[in-house]
Amino acid sequence: MDTMRDRLAPVVSRLLDEDPRVAVVLAEIGRDGFREAERRHPDRVINVGIREQLLVGAAAGLALTGLRPVVHTFASFLVERPFEQVKLDFGHQDTGAVLVSAAASFDWPAGGFTHMAPGDVALLDTLDGWTVHVPGHPDEAETLLRQAVAAGDDKVYVRLSVQSNGQRRAVDGQHFLPVREGRSGVVVAVGPMLDAVLAATADLDVTVLYATTVRPFDAAGLRRATRAAGTDVVLVEPYLAGTSTAAASEALADVPHRVLGLGVGRRELRRYGTIEEHTAAHGLDARGLQERISRFLDAGRTEPGQG
């Protein structure tokens, strides 16, 4: 199967043809896919070289003239390295762009920690007004990319990964999608985590919500799910563990609830190897998830004082 990132250049190249507002800004990475688009639209496909502060600042300048910039590189160089540009040149300048990242938390484990960005969504959470899409399938990535570009002057982050689920789901760019109904707990699976979550919870009586748009957080969708399944909530995110714990707690602030945030650990593993090995090391494979989700749900059923 092709990857989400394989869809980026074809989709955005079509949008360049269709919409004169669209521009692409690159910092060398990802340029190959846009060669043809660069020939057709030399003024709207811009490669600034290996200069990530300029990548973001120039995108903001493009937006100030009325264009809709699509900015792409690896997550660590798109969000982390030029973070103050992201904060000020879009937020404070009151403009927007579509930031599309690749490499995610550990898409290239052999590349090591310099090319891992498990903290990208948590960092964006310090800012106001960002929409964050985390597709779990290349088809979903296409849908969400189109929505992101069409979203006026909004600030939108699209997190692409080579990790994905076996089948596409009907994502709408807003709501969590109920995938399974249960009665004793809600598990929110974000993007590429869905297949592992479904395998991990196959024998558990839980509701599984599939989240591909995590900001704004679908608080109403979570609350709705807790009506039948109770307020034990597990979040399974493909980036830093606990990134959405506060959002889930806020959604359930007026009812007693428990939240377990699972995701990528903070500790630097200092390991290379494969995606599967890193997934397991962070406890995000089906077995690791099953153990931790079961333990959390069982603890909730323990009578007070017996603990």
Partner 1 sequence: MTTAAEQSRTHGYDDLPRLMGMMTGDEKHGPAATSTLDVLWVLYDRVLRVTPERRADPARDRFLLSKGHGPMAYYAVLAAKGFVPVDWLPGFGSYDSPLGHHPDRVLVPGAEIGSGSLGHGLPIAVGTALGLRAQGRPDPAVWVLIGDAELDEGSNHEAIAFAGPAGLDRLHTVVIDNSSASHALPGGIAARFEAAGWSAVTVDGRDHEALYAAFTAPHPGRPHAVVARVEPKNA
Beta carbon nearer to partner 1, 70 or 188: 70
- Binding flag, residue 63, partner 1 (CB under 8 A): yes
With CB under 8 A as the contact rule, the residue among 49, 166, 216, 273 that binds partner 1 is: 49
Q: How many CA atoms lie within 13 A of 106 on its CB side?
A: 27
Stretch of 89-97, 203-211, 223-231, 263-271 lying at the interface with partner 1 (CB under 8 A):
89-97
- Binding flag, residue 85, partner 1 (CB under 8 A): yes
Site string for partner 1, 111-140 (x = CB under 8 A): ------------------------------
Task: Please answer whether residues 158 and 145 qualify as being in contact, where contact means their C-beta atoms are separated by less than 8 angstroms.
Answer: yes
Q: How far apart are the first and last CA of the chain?
A: 47
Peptide bond into 216 cis (omega under 30): yes
Q: How many CB atoms lie within 10 A of CB 1?
A: 7
Site string for partner 1, 4-43 (x = CB under 8 A): ----------------x--x-x-----------------x
Give how many residues touch partner 1 by CB under 8 A: 31
Written as one string, the DSSP assignment of 104-116 is TTTS-GGG-GGG-
- Could you tell me the smallest distance in angstroms from the CB atom of residue 92 to partner 1? 5
Task: Please answer whether residues 139 and 212 qualify as being in contact, where contact means their C-beta atoms are separated by less than 8 angstroms.
Answer: no
- The per-type count for the chain, helices as H runs and strands as E runs, is 12, 12
Q: Which two tokens stand for residue 243?
A: 């990134």
Beta carbon nearer to partner 1, 155 or 282: 155
Task: Please answer whether residues 251 and 233 qualify as being in contact, where contact means their C-beta atoms are separated by less than 8 angstroms.
Answer: no
Interface residues with partner 1 (CB under 8 A) are 20, 23, 25, 43-44, 46, 48-49, 51, 53-54, 56-67, 69, 84-85, 88-89, 92-94
